[in-house]
Structure 1
Amino acid sequence: METSTIIFIVLAFVISIAIAYFQYYFKAKRVGNITLLLFALRSMVIFLLLLLLINPSIDKKSFINQKPALSVLVDNSRSTQFFKQDSLVNQLINSIKNNDRLQKKFDVSFYSFGEQFAFNDSLSFDEDQTNISEALVNIEDLNKGKNDAVILMSDGNQTLGNDYEYVNTKKTVFPVAIGDTLKYDDIRISQLNVNRYSFINNQFPVEAIVLYEGNQSVRANFTIEHRGKVIYRKQVRLTADKNTETIRTNIKSEREGVNFYKARVSFIEGEKNRNNNSKSFSVEVIDKQSQILILSSMYHPDLGTLKKSIERDQQRKATIELIDSKDFKIDDFQLVILYQPNFQFKDAFKQIKDKKINFFLISGSKTDWQLINSEAIGIRKNSIDQSEDYGANFNAGYLIFSQKDIDFNNFPPLKDKFGETLINIPHQTLLYQSINGFSSKEPMLATADENNHKKVFLLGEGIWRWRSSSFLNTNSFESFDEFIGNIIQYASSKKVRDRLAVDIESIYNANSLIKVGAFYVNNNFEFDDRATLIFTAVNKETNESKSYPFSLANNSYQLEIEGLESGEYDYTVRVEGQNINRKGTFRVSEYSVEEQFTNADHQKLARLADKTNGKMYYGDQGQTLINDLIENNQYVTVQRSIQRKESIIDWKWIMFLIVGLLAVEWFTRKYHGKI
């Protein structure tokens, strides 16, 4: 017990005697034996109450034995089954579970990984991707600071995530190479690059990389097929020294809509894995290119950023013009971007309003808000001649088009004139302003549709910094360009908004989960969560039809389909009880990313083991691994002491005693007429 606690107890005792003495002896006219009893009772009650407040405690030390952790990470992807190693993996797991010496030495936990990481020892080997790096990172976080070992059962072929060989982990990893470690001659299409869109009667480029693994000199035919016909053919010759060839060609777009193609390389003699010899791809052919005008009175980095992001999609072309130029006609464009308009934009505003041309207004430190306020375009700002930096807060409830949060909150702030903004037409806000981290309900990015006249308002200059920040975070401009693309797609369309929108891919890989999203609004264009949406897929070859209901999730309708056979499908999404539907086409290809490898990557697994001071084992060396772990003196049970404070009084009994003493005191005083 601490010295301070003892002092408090002594003081409590003295105080309790002093108070009781004051009550029963100080200025008392008559003192007898009963007074002494009452004095003792009152002193004890006060002392016990003060003791409850002090709550004296003592330090108590206990010891526990902590075994080292053994985390078993098991590859639950389809490649394990493809290599016919699923039974071997289950045998290894059972050997670990049933070894008493191993269980006695380690605290063993089992985890599975594929696309997702899970605490699980029940395996299905049906996941479509392999993310080894995520599994290693998660184990590092779960067992941070612990002396433990990791068994990694995998073929070493990763299809998703960062390179696991360079994961920063302090755990010792013991990989078990699952799958055939012998190398077989194999030729495959390792990569296929193609644009998503093309224009009617134009040519779109196709780039394919053919890879050969082997020691011979081989010849193979590379072909591209469309609608059952070969439209391109080339012979390739590969050797052990020259084992790759990049094939580039251009294909003419002749049919509007989604067109499906298949790239194929012929088999070679003795090839074991033929599933990786072909890949399907699709191109959406459109018959008109959207023309976007970027109108400004000055040059600014934002202009180039907008042009690059817009033209990332080949169905759009952006033209930058200065307002004092006469080389353009506003009505030649589907959308006009008004960048920091000033008094020179007066005629441009008149044409936009007269001809109901969709526009995207971007303000900044050089914007003339007096002009904008006078034009009555739906937005006003009571600004002062002072600039402010505004951060962005994403509005997850935005419903006009689908936009994910690309980490807007952490983007650099945009600069705009300070003042209160009022949008006086029906609108929705995608981004709100924040100042110094404090969010507000002031709009930063809002969209409006006034009688099919689309208007977008972005309050702030400096989005070139957003594109740079997005690249630093993701090592790609894709997410930012997609964000700008969504705005442009909405704003440049003169089409009346559909009540039903469907989000579906053109091609899905074999055995993969087919995810379909839908968004449905009522007559007031408000999200309707009472509807019943049905998805129907019809196989074009067999005419077999399957229907699936959508589920409601996060202000949208979602559907996940498993088990569709490869082939081309016509789909229909309909709203029950309404004459509203959407139709289209998608394809389930024969391509499965988990079946593209011919053998386990034991060399990479061995490098991971060396880096973490572990050792690699093969699938038939499971017992050797177990014995090595049991005999490894690096992993021992550690005795840890736990010191905690423990109260030396039981407050329930103390309270019971206080009540009892008070009762005795009261009855004594009552009996002797002291009350």
Structure 2
Amino acid sequence: MTAITYFLILLALLISVLIAYYQYFYKQSDNSTLPKILFVLKFSSLFLLLILLINPKIESTKTTNEKPVLSLLVDNSSSIDYFEENQTVNDLITLLERNKALANKFSIEKFSFGNDLQILDSLSFDNTNTNISKAIQDVNELQKGKKSPIVVLTDGNQTKGLDYSFITSEQSIYPIVIGDTTKYEDVSIAQVNVNKYSYLNNKFPVEIILNYDGTLSNRLPVSIIKNGKRIYQKQVNFSKTKKSATISAELKSLTEGLQYYTVSVGKLENEKNSKNNVKSFSIEVINEQTKIALISSIVHPDLGALKKAIESNKQRSLEIFSIDKFKENVNDYQLVILYQPTIKFNAILNQLKKSESNYWLISGANTNWSFINQQNIGISKNAINQTENLIPFYNESFLTFLQEDINFNNLPPLTDKFGDVTISGEKQTLIFQNLNGVITKQPLLTFLESNSTKKGFLLGEGIWKWRATSYLNTNSFEEFDNFIGNIIQYLASTKKRNRLEVNVESIHPANSSIKIAAFYTDKNYRFDDRANLEIKVTNSESKEVTSIPFSLIKKSYQAEIENLASGDYFYEVTVENQNIRKTGRFKVSEFEIEQQFTNANKDKLNTLALNTDGQLYYPNEIEQLSQELMSNENYYTIQKSNKIEENLINWKWLLFVAIGLLSIEWFVRKYNGKI
């Protein structure tokens, strides 16, 4: 409280005393105790009312005890059910929940994980993947800056994500191994490496990586089967010292379209799990390759980034030319990329305009905008000889082709000459310019389509930084390469644009969730969110039909199909009341990723525990785990004191006390004939 507040309280005290004294003692001759009682009542009520009018701020201290958090992570994947350990997991959760000592020391938070981390409600043990590393990282983020142990109930068999055994964790981790830890003799197909595309009548390589866990010598056949016919076979030897093998095979592409193959390795005599002895793959056989020419006036890191991104799809090849050495015919290429054009590009641009060929123009600090402005190609810029940094801003309403947001808004800025851009004709802009936090309608990446010609314009150099940043964010170039691939697919295509496009993977593991995306436009090729789309999936063998309606999510239609049996499927996507449909096929393999393991991975879990200052436990060691957590001095209750400042007027009970005192005073006076 301030000095003025204290002064006002003293003044209120004095006024209350004077008024009460004046009323009951001034010029009064009554020496009984009644005036004294009335004096106290009057003084108290007046003082309380005046204090409420002054309304001083009252400071108080509230003390709370904050227990350390014990995070309990429970594996909810189907591998727990496969190992028949459902009851074991449920029993362990019950034991930990009923441990009064732990409950007194810790605030226990329970989560389940498989595909994702979720607050534990109930366990179904049906998740089709296990991502232990992400679960730990998510909990670490929740408990950032605190000392909170993590107990993980899992078999340690991870099917996706980073290697969890060497993960950096702020918290100590105490794994409880679920499942049989006995090592059984086993052979498995660890990986099949193959390109997505092959050319008709060409040979394509297939790399098969096999793992062996055992001590005996074995000789097993490895086969590749297509349409029930064995097209490749080789014998492979394993022993106590030879634990793995890599087989390289060459197959010939004889039929155009999507082709399915199955790799299998022979079963060991006493092998417990043979489900990991089979794995399927697919390859799309195409007739020709998309040829792209990139013509540049300078040497720049962007050129290498574009080449790597474009050629990540083996269906495409990119040739890089210096403008001074380009003597080719532009008609020999499905797409031409013009990088930072200058006046030397005059002949090339004339050829492209004459042949109505598609092209992609990328500008930058060395671009001659005066030359471009004279070409009448649909874009101009009143550029000055000064550069500016242009931050990308993703346009969610972009409709030309399906492109998801790959965190565009957080990618590094591109560099171009300063000036306003003018586009003539109808454009579709995928990325706008963000200038110092101001979102403009100036395009950074835009597309024009007139008659049969498609043009793309990227107004800035430095796209190599986008590829590098995308890798740092996702540990993969895939997102960026797919983004560039979408641009190339659109610009290189000379086919009439389809109003309905469907995107679905060609092969899926058994029991997995199959996600299908569709993109539908009206007759003007604008995204149509009023349509009703449906997919019919037919099993090629049983002829059983499954029909699923699409849901509209943002700017695409999406459907999700679950519980399809292994086999080949044909699909047909239709639009209600429109004669528009799209067909295709996919395969659900017998490969169940959660059933590829023969035992619990105690070694990796032990490494995880040691690297995080934790300790590995088994289901029969719950009491030891409890004792460790209880005795560990790193986990303690924190007492927090918070100063609370509150206005006295919020203490409503004081008003009622004052009214009560005034009422008692009136009653006493009335009773004693003083009124």
Answer yes or no: is the 8 Å Cα contact 2:168–2:612 preserved in 1.
no
Q: Evaluate the alpha carbon distance shift between residue 174 and residue 322 of structure 1 in structure 2; reply closer, same or farther with a 3 A threshold.
A: closer
Q: Deviations over 1:100-132 (max 9, x none)?
A: 444344322221001110111410111111111
Task: Work out whether 1:9 is the aligned partner of 2:10.
Answer: no
| SS of the residue 2:598 aligns to | coil
1:449 is aligned to 449
CA distance in 1, matches of 2:412, 2:635: 48
Answer yes or no: is the 8 Å Cα contact 1:179–1:619 preserved in 2.
no
Pairs within 5 Å for 1:182-261: 182-261=182-261
Answer yes or no: is the 8 Å Cα contact 1:16–1:46 preserved in 2.
no
Q: Evaluate the alpha carbon distance shift between residue 658 and residue 528 of structure 1 in structure 2; reply closer, same or farther with a 3 A threshold.
A: farther
Task: Work out whether 1:365 is the aligned partner of 2:356.
Answer: no
Q: Evaluate the alpha carbon distance shift between residue 611 and residue 289 of structure 1 in structure 2; reply closer, same or farther with a 3 A threshold.
A: closer
**More deviation, 568-577/609-618:** 609-618
| SS of the residue 2:299 aligns to | coil
| SS of the residue 2:308 aligns to | helix
1:56 is aligned to 57
CA distance in 2, matches of 1:172, 1:324: 62
Q: Evaluate the alpha carbon distance shift between residue 181 and residue 577 of structure 1 in structure 2; reply closer, same or farther with a 3 A threshold.
A: same
2:71 is aligned to 71
Q: Deviations over 1:51-109 (max 9, x none)?
A: 23xx3213x23444444432211000111011111111111112223344443443222
| Structure 1, gaps ≥5 residues long | 19-39, 660-675
**More deviation, 629-638/609-618:** 629-638
CA distance in 1, matches of 2:419, 2:231: 61
Pairs within 5 Å for 1:46-445: 51-52=54-55, 55-58=56-59, 60-325=60-325, 327-445=327-445
* One-letter code aligned to 1:422: T
Q: Evaluate the alpha carbon distance shift between residue 210 and residue 374 of structure 1 in structure 2; reply closer, same or farther with a 3 A threshold.
A: same
> 1:368 Cα deviation (Å)?
1.9
| SS of the residue 2:452 aligns to | coil
| SS of the residue 1:79 aligns to | helix
| SS of the residue 2:386 aligns to | strand
CA distance in 2, matches of 1:618, 1:326: 69
Answer yes or no: is the 8 Å Cα contact 1:48–1:658 preserved in 2.
no
1:671 is aligned to none
**More deviation, 136-145/361-370:** 136-145
> 1:431 Cα deviation (Å)?
1.1
**More deviation, 174-183/350-359:** 350-359
Q: Deviations over 1:236-277 (max 9, x none)?
A: 101121211111122111111110011111111111111111
* One-letter code aligned to 1:574: T
* TM superposition score normalised by structure 2: 0.88
* One-letter code aligned to 2:238: L
Q: Evaluate the alpha carbon distance shift between residue 631 and residue 416 of structure 1 in structure 2; reply closer, same or farther with a 3 A threshold.
A: closer
CA distance in 2, matches of 1:163, 1:307: 30
Q: Evaluate the alpha carbon distance shift between residue 478 and residue 632 of structure 1 in structure 2; reply closer, same or farther with a 3 A threshold.
A: closer
> 1:511 Cα deviation (Å)?
0.6
Identity %: 47
**More deviation, 597-606/158-167:** 158-167
CA distance in 2, matches of 1:600, 1:69: 27
Q: Evaluate the alpha carbon distance shift between residue 115 and residue 44 of structure 1 in structure 2; reply closer, same or farther with a 3 A threshold.
A: same
**More deviation, 131-140/471-480:** 471-480
Pairs within 5 Å for 1:464-503: 464-503=464-503
CA distance in 2, matches of 1:585, 1:202: 23
**More deviation, 569-578/159-168:** 159-168
2:673 is aligned to none
| SS of the residue 1:362 aligns to | strand
Q: Deviations over 1:179-238 (max 9, x none)?
A: 110000110111111111111111111111111011111111111111111111111101
CA distance in 1, matches of 2:69, 2:342: 67
Answer yes or no: is the 8 Å Cα contact 2:57–2:645 preserved in 1.
no
> 1:47 Cα deviation (Å)?
6.7
CA distance in 1, matches of 2:219, 2:149: 47
1:610 is aligned to 610
> 1:628 Cα deviation (Å)?
5.3
> 1:654 Cα deviation (Å)?
8.7
Q: Evaluate the alpha carbon distance shift between residue 579 and residue 99 of structure 1 in structure 2; reply closer, same or farther with a 3 A threshold.
A: same
1:597 is aligned to 597
CA distance in 1, matches of 2:48, 2:85: 76
Answer yes or no: is the 8 Å Cα contact 2:358–2:492 preserved in 1.
yes
> 1:15 Cα deviation (Å)?
12
* One-letter code aligned to 1:339: Y
| Structure 2, gaps ≥5 residues long | 16-42, 660-675
Answer yes or no: is the 8 Å Cα contact 1:114–1:130 preserved in 2.
yes
| SS of the residue 2:480 aligns to | helix
CA distance in 2, matches of 1:371, 1:638: 70
2:31 is aligned to none
CA distance in 2, matches of 1:66, 1:372: 67
1:23 is aligned to none
| SS of the residue 2:276 aligns to | coil
Q: Deviations over 1:576-595 (max 9, x none)?
A: 11110000110001111111
* One-letter code aligned to 1:444: L
* One-letter code aligned to 1:276: N
> 1:11 Cα deviation (Å)?
5.7
2:663 is aligned to none
* One-letter code aligned to 1:57: I
CA distance in 2, matches of 1:46, 1:192: 85
Answer yes or no: is the 8 Å Cα contact 2:414–2:460 preserved in 1.
yes
| SS of the residue 2:605 aligns to | helix
> 1:629 Cα deviation (Å)?
4.5
CA distance in 1, matches of 2:138, 2:468: 29
Answer yes or no: is the 8 Å Cα contact 2:49–2:655 preserved in 1.
no
CA distance in 2, matches of 1:645, 1:78: 54
Answer yes or no: is the 8 Å Cα contact 1:381–1:422 preserved in 2.
yes
* One-letter code aligned to 1:231: I
Q: Evaluate the alpha carbon distance shift between residue 428 and residue 410 of structure 1 in structure 2; reply closer, same or farther with a 3 A threshold.
A: same
Answer yes or no: is the 8 Å Cα contact 1:13–1:47 preserved in 2.
no
CA distance in 2, matches of 1:222, 1:66: 60
1:558 is aligned to 558
CA distance in 1, matches of 2:478, 2:640: 51
Q: Deviations over 1:307-355 (max 9, x none)?
A: 2222221111212223333530011111111111122222222221222
* One-letter code aligned to 1:400: T
2:30 is aligned to none
* One-letter code aligned to 1:393: F
**More deviation, 268-277/369-378:** 369-378
Answer yes or no: is the 8 Å Cα contact 2:337–2:360 preserved in 1.
yes
* TM superposition score normalised by structure 1: 0.88
* One-letter code aligned to 2:486: N
